[in-house]
Structure 1
């Protein structure tokens, strides 16, 4: 019965039997992918599904025998209630149906935490409901007192094979589509081990084995993939790349077995960590999973996305089911995906759960017009538009998905063991596909002295290193660069000129460190002067062998680039547009040992609360808050620069607010142990004499008065800009920074350039697309020129 603990008991039983020296095969009634993942951990063999709807009644027993080949005992976990099947079909594809087809004795798992003698009535009803189903006993789960257990045992009238008490240590987390897959939980193996130990202590394994031996022989032979498909008699075995890892956990074991039998080499790759497709890829199978949970990380793996995009557009035969469809879409909850399928995906409140029959509306990579298949859908995302000109299926009267001679992508999951012709056609297309071309040479990054091409709408070669200053060249009116547009104060210019008198000796950063310590009320050892925030990012990337560094996006991309350059694999956590790009500390993975976040965030202008940032801190983790634009906010609200918190470092830059981008001046303040470590990896004399002098000047009391005046001026200018955008009907993110993120529409960035106006394209920021631009705030008379140009665009 649903919610009774079937998966807990079944998985524990598999582990317990394995621990007792038996070879065990695990099976699951229904289409579910998650439970078989736990079964695989418990048995050391692939978890298998038994579903008459997906594969037909005649294949259920052969598939059971195939999965149990070489095993001593097969354990089959049911689905929902014993007699619950496809609605309107009299229990078709229910656990009882599969038990009858396979002549398998049934042991009921009953949650008795809130019942007593009523358990007897429940069990008797189950046992008597269908004479074709042999209910042989029960396991009492979540049991309480011995007295209540005795009362229940007397009422049941069938053997009680075990009494399992509640144990929160073996509870399993769930999410919007059910349980969390085993491959996503680092502690899953230990949980399964504990399950096995508990079941071994509280269930009579010998009695259950005796019941298993009583099952009659089946009048069927094992399913054999070699009899379902054929392979070419000669030639090399082409590689079919199959998506796996934490984001792509859903696929049936028989799919890979059919492809192997059809003469293909199946090679798994992980879209979260692999930077390219497997060598020699000539086919792609992208199954199901939870890409919405890992959208930021998938989007951040730009190298693999580019490789995938090139392969699919180049005609590599590709099958994508559900998660694979989302991965091929243009975006997923705002995070850019492969962009092969012309649609965007969003999480919704509505769960789509159906068990349909689908019809092929035309000839495709997998199907021929009019062919029918059975499948299932289970997702909480929606695609806009939901289909292409050539849909993959017609499901319940509606076209769905995208299809072409080389691509088949839809939400529908199909078990290929029930429809082996799909595997045959895919394998034939893979065999016929041209051999892959040699890998192209790695793109050459522009050197610091090379001027990069400033594109209008075409992609930027290296988005993480794209900077707004290249947008504002060629005499364009500059709304792209966030440098204060006014004159520098006389005292700052005098300071910079005077600093040149000292360039004949090596620079000493001590005066800058002391001045910053005084400015923020910190001890001297808590401060490190740096050559701008850029050097600080590099030092942090080199500080430790980070196991899981996280960058919160959308934000300034340089921290991400610095980590990648140091050889780290970065986890990107995306702030959702639906939440106003606000930070959700719970979205940061628990095992993150480095978290970098901007405040206020570039390019959204969102100011995160100090409370939410403190919520990121925990033992064993370094939290880095980039406050590059905090001095542009009157009163510097939500700043953590003056707070002493273990594992927290705050970065500041003087570049923007004081109009000195050519003077790389900045500093880090925070945890003294961390600051000391940064100093150890810093190159000697990296901070120049002018930068040291500028730092001393810009944190003085005199500078504080001017900084506050400029911050209030920014506030007034931004209010004027946002009012103009609002009047023009242009969407934007309410900002607290000296810039505004506006959704002007795709192509407007280039059209503004044609009118002599530069804004910062935002599609190079992870989580944003080509319809966004970042606009630096400017005086009202200058802003009016931008608004007029937008009206013409």
Structure 2
């Protein structure tokens, strides 16, 4: 008999705050000096990630569907080995399980199998005495489930809380704590649920705050008493060493490369434990940044995650994709579940992936969520034909085709996935602790496999700047593409001197350098320029400050950046701790935005117009149509100055939930001055102004803003736009005449597909263009070419022709 204090945190339904309370309770107990083991009912990978941060131990799952009822208590004891207390977070509502099974695999089922008391969390934000009725119904519905107490979550006024506590006194259920409303402790979500802890900057601090709040508002002593009331368990702890055997008694431990990092966060802790027990050495690698597989790789495990969020970054790491393709072709045993399947496909949402599987993947409108039994369709790396396993699927992508000639599984009448002697890939997640024969077969194949040797990279083209590898693609800038002796087609600054009136304004601004700058005159000038009220305008230190303020404006639940576009908004959002959803505009559609691709639950949408680097000018009606209640639409019009007549600009329109960001730096050749502004919805502008650091806009930037938005600037601005249009026509005509694919542009640059290697080859011939593979959604075949006078553009064409870059693009 084993004594293990334990409790289940459950709720009447999903969305009540189970994860917040359970994770906070784990953190609070750990802070109080207890060794805590965290567990999650069901197949979910994300909550155990938060549990691991809260407890300092691996998060574990308890799922009778995945591992069998008989293994549940042994796995609980294994996961809780050495712990003082086990906290088990439930799934959905307390009695909700697989449909049609009378609650199989529900929280109640797990609580019954493990003989664990339940603490019920009830969100009372919109309840009063009804909370007592809900608790009583939950407690009496099944005599085999013991509800030992209640935690009230999202409590409001003291008066209403007292009313709720009074109703619970009638049920005999003790109130173990009352958590007040606190929006700071909300957890961000995306299309498959919560954002994984590994992807969320600041997760550790958030969990510390949760622990502090739970310790303050819950009765930890009473909760410990509930846990200690759990009966002893009559079972032996699960052991991976008893499930598999080591293949080789020698000292050699073959390396299994296991994908990790932000894009691959989904795997069960027991998978690694089984492989280790079988004699393998599991080495984690990050497909976003690592240039190759780990040294000595003899097996590859690609688990689940969110590759669709990082498709462009994964595609940009071509070295690793090439190495992976080489390894699989050489026979290295490879398992891919869900995200791994997408990574091995030819493309994901248009971004090129490894190309190992003859399939393409893309986001779809419907979520696939199922809990099936699957039958092996063939003998393969993992399975014997006809063998049945249990698993789960949870994804919003589709592959086409869904299965290969040798499918991995048959689920009902459907064939899914791809399987061969050294490869097994499908959407199905299988918990290997429930089917240890899969781990054994994989380990056997790994031992028998050759050791993968990384292929030597081809000789690099000798260039001085920039390096072929970009440390942070989102912060890469055209300035680093230029260099001494190079023709500059990389930076989008207007190729001409500054007007005399602007030079004079900049010089005179230095006379005010002894005083703190006053941005109000600039605010007034901007308001007059666009026909706005002062409250609808905010001068900023360039567009960069504007994007930083927007990123920090509120705890965005699902910020969306439409790509390819200027990467600063994306970088600012990530720096502020947000996980960004990328919506890609595709070359086959002329980089036009499909508004249906923007998720309905996006509360922030950022889009360029005209967009950098594509030059696409989106219709104003399309941008207006992106507005929704509770959503802020940010339109980056940094290059609208270059559009004759500023066709399509929204800077003058008073639209709720929309702001426009402008920059003066490129059109007026003053990038070092950092002059920009925001115009739009007065409420949003006021909130942004409240977050702006005092005196952030310098005196020269204020002077430049006043000068460039004045009536004096109007004819010069019009002439520059017309000149840029002529220069752009000349550039596009030369590209068109050479049969080069390009995106028709409304901006002072043109995005062209010159072919892979063109960027470096042009530098060899003295021309700097802007590499485009650092823009999400584009690869190294694309470059951005700044618009320049015809004479200079002819020099570009001479270099282009000399480099023999006119072969079909790749």
Task: Tell me whether the two structures share a fold, i.e. TM-score over 0.5.
Answer: yes
**CA shift at 1:770, angstroms?**
12
Matching residue of 2:280 = 264
**Alignment partner for residue 123 of structure 2, among 96, 107, 111?**
111
8 Å CA contact 1:138, 1:160 repeated in 2: yes
Q: 2:403 pairs with 387, 397, 418, which one?
A: 387
Task: Report the secondary structure of 1:148's partner residue.
Answer: helix
Q: Distance in 2 between matches of 1:161 and 1:702?
A: 69
Matching residue of 1:199: 214
**Distance (Å, rounded) in 1 between the aligned partners of 2:732 and 2:463:** 36
Q: Are the aligned partners of 1:286 and 1:319 in contact in 2 as well (CA < 8 Å)?
A: yes
Deviations 1:308-359, CA, capped at 9 Å, x for gaps: 2222222211111111111111111111111111111111110000000111
Hey, what does 1:277 align to over in structure 2? 293
Matches within 5 A, 1:407-422: 407-422=423-438
Is residue 665–residue 672 contact of structure 2 (8 Å, CA) maintained in 1? no
Residue in structure 2 matched with residue 39 of structure 1 by the alignment: 51
Distance 1:340 1:392 in 2: 15
Pair 712,357 (structure 1): closer, same or farther in 2 beyond 3 Å: closer
Do the aligned partners of residues 112 and 597 (structure 1) sit closer, same or farther apart at CA in structure 2, a change above 3 Å counting? closer
Q: In structure 2, do the counterparts of structure 1 residues 651 and 238 end up closer, same or farther at CA, with 3 Å as the change threshold?
A: farther
1:162-561 equivalences under 5 Å are 162-231=177-246, 232-437=248-453, 439-447=454-462, 515-518=497-500, 554=564
**Aligned 8 A contact 2:389 2:435 in 1:** yes
Which string of whole-angstrom CA distances, capped at 9 and with x for unpartnered residues, describes residues 148-197 of structure 1? 24333323321221111111111111111111111111111111111111
Provide the aligned length of Structure 1 versus Structure 2: 605
Q: CA deviation at 1:372?
A: 0.6
Look up the SS of the partner of 1:116 in the other structure: coil
Tell me the equivalent position of 1:137: 149
1:155 maps onto 2:175 in alignment: no
Unpaired stretches in structure 2, ≥5 consecutive residues:
1-11, 471-484, 486-493, 509-543, 545-559, 569-579, 600-605, 624-634, 651-659, 677-714, 754-770, 791-810
> Aligned match of 1:24 in 25, 36, 60?
36
Q: Tell me by how many angstroms 1:46 deviates.
A: 0.5
Contact persistence 1:110–1:139 (CA under 8 A): yes
> Equivalents in 1 of 2:746, 2:92: separation in Å?
51
- Structure 1 residues 259, 706: CA separation in 2 closer, same or farther (over 3 Å shift)? closer
**2:136 is aligned with 1:124:** yes
- Following superposition, the deviation at residue 12 of structure 1 comes to 0.9
Residue 10 in 1 paired to residue 22 in 2?
A: yes
The 1-side partners of 2:786 and 2:666 are apart by 21
CA RMSD of aligned residues (A): 4.9
Structure 1 residues 16, 765: CA separation in 2 closer, same or farther (over 3 Å shift)? closer
Bigger Cα displacement from structure 2, 333-342 vs 138-147: 138-147
Tell me, yes or no, if structure 1 residue 62 matches structure 2 residue 74. Answer: yes
Contact 2:565 2:611 in 1 (8 A): no
8 Å CA contact 2:614, 2:743 repeated in 1:
no
Conserved? CA contact 1:603–1:740, under 8 Å: yes
- Alpha-carbon distance, 1:638 to partner: 8.2
Alignment pair present for 1:576 and 2:591: no
Matches of 2:66 and 2:581, distance apart in 1: 37
Give the CA deviation at 1:636: 7.0
Q: CA deviation at 1:303?
A: 1.9
Cα deviations by residue, 1:695-738 (Å, 9 ceiling, x for unpaired)? xxxx99999698378369679989xx99xx9xxxxx99775469
**What is the aligned partner in structure 2 of residue 767 from structure 1?**
777
1:494 alignment partner in structure 2? none
- Distance (whole Å) between structure 1 residues aligned to residue 179 and residue 105 of structure 2: 28
Matched, 1:72 2:84: yes
Stretches of structure 1 that go unaligned for 5 or more consecutive residues are: 450-461, 465-502, 504-511, 527-539, 541-549, 560-570, 588-594, 613-622, 653-666, 676-698, 726-730, 744-760, 779-793
Alpha-carbon distance in structure 1 between the residues aligned to 2:311 and 2:434: 32
Provide the residue aligned with 1:710 in structure 2: 726
Give the TM-score taking structure 2 as reference length. 0.65
Describe the SS at the equivalent of 2:311: helix
CA distance, structure 2, for counterparts of residue 28 and residue 86 of structure 1: 16
Q: TM-score, normalised by structure 1?
A: 0.67
Hey, what's the Cα distance between the residues in 2 that align with 1:203 and 1:375?
36
Could you tell me how far 1:524 is from its partner in structure 2?
Answer: 5.9
Please say which of residues 703-712 and 160-169 is displaced more in the overlay: 703-712
For residue 292 of structure 1, give the secondary structure of its aligned residue in structure 2: coil
- Whether contact under 8 Å (1:352, 1:378) holds in the other structure is yes
Compute the displacement of 1:582 (Å).
4.9
The answer (yes or no) to whether the contact 1:243–1:271 under 8 Å persists in 2 is yes
For the 8 Å contact 1:604–1:740, the answer to whether it is kept is yes
**Counterpart of 1:670?**
671
Deviation at 1:442, TM superposition (A): 3.2
Residue 279 of structure 1, CA deviation:
1.4
CA contact (8 A) 2:263 2:309 kept: yes
CA apart distance, 1:85: 0.6
Q: Is the 8 A contact 2:408 2:425 kept in 1?
A: yes
**In structure 2, the residue corresponding to 1:139 is in which secondary structure?**
strand
Pair 1:95 & 2:110 matched: no
Q: Distance in 2 between matches of 1:705 and 1:773?
A: 23
Matched residue SS, 1:216: coil
- Separation in 2, partners of 1:712, 1:38: 52
- Native 8 Å contact 1:108 1:139 kept in 2: yes
2 CA distance for matches of 1:162 and 1:764? 50
Confirm or deny: 8 A CA contact 2:131 2:164 kept in the other structure.
Answer: no
The change in CA–CA distance for 1:771 and 1:268 in structure 2 (over 3 A counts) is closer
Query: Which residue number in structure 2 is paired with residue 458 of structure 1?
Result: none
Q: Secondary structure at the match of 1:156?
A: coil
Measure, in 2, the Cα distance between the counterparts of 1:362 and 1:707: 66
In 2 relative to 1, CA 441–770 (structure 1 residues): closer, same or farther, beyond 3 Å?
Answer: closer
Q: Is the 8 A contact 2:616 2:746 kept in 1?
A: yes
- CA shift, 1:515, in A, is 2.3
Q: Name the structure 2 match of 1:529.
A: none
- C-alpha distance in 1, partners of 2:648/2:196? 38
Q: Structure 2: how far apart are the matches of 1:140 and 1:556?
A: 45
**Contact 2:90–2:107 (CA under 8 A) maintained in structure 1:** yes
Q: Distance in 2 between matches of 1:446 and 1:712?
A: 30
Question: Take 2:332 and 2:353, find their aligned partners in 1: how far apart are those partners?
Answer: 18
Query: Higher Cα Rg: structure 1 or 2?
Result: 1
Q: Identify if the C-alpha distance between structure 1 residues 638 and 521 changes in structure 2 by more than 3 Å, giving closer, same or farther.
A: farther
Q: 1:712 to 1:246 in 2, by over 3 A?
A: closer
2:670 match: secondary structure: strand
Which deviates further from its counterpart, 141-150 or 301-310?
Answer: 141-150
Q: 3-state SS of the aligned residue for 2:346?
A: strand
Q: What is the CA deviation profile of residues 623-667 of structure 1, one whole-angstrom value per residue up to 9, with x for unaligned ones?
A: 99997x986x64576899xxxx99968558xxxxxxxxxxxxxx9
Shift of 1:742: 11
Task: Check if 1:82 corresponds to 2:86.
Answer: no
Separation of aligned partners in 2, 1:221 and 1:431: 30
- CA separation in 1, counterparts of 2:357 and 2:719? 53
Task: Provide the residue aligned with 1:679 in structure 2.
Answer: none
Asked if 1:51 corresponds to 2:63, the answer is yes
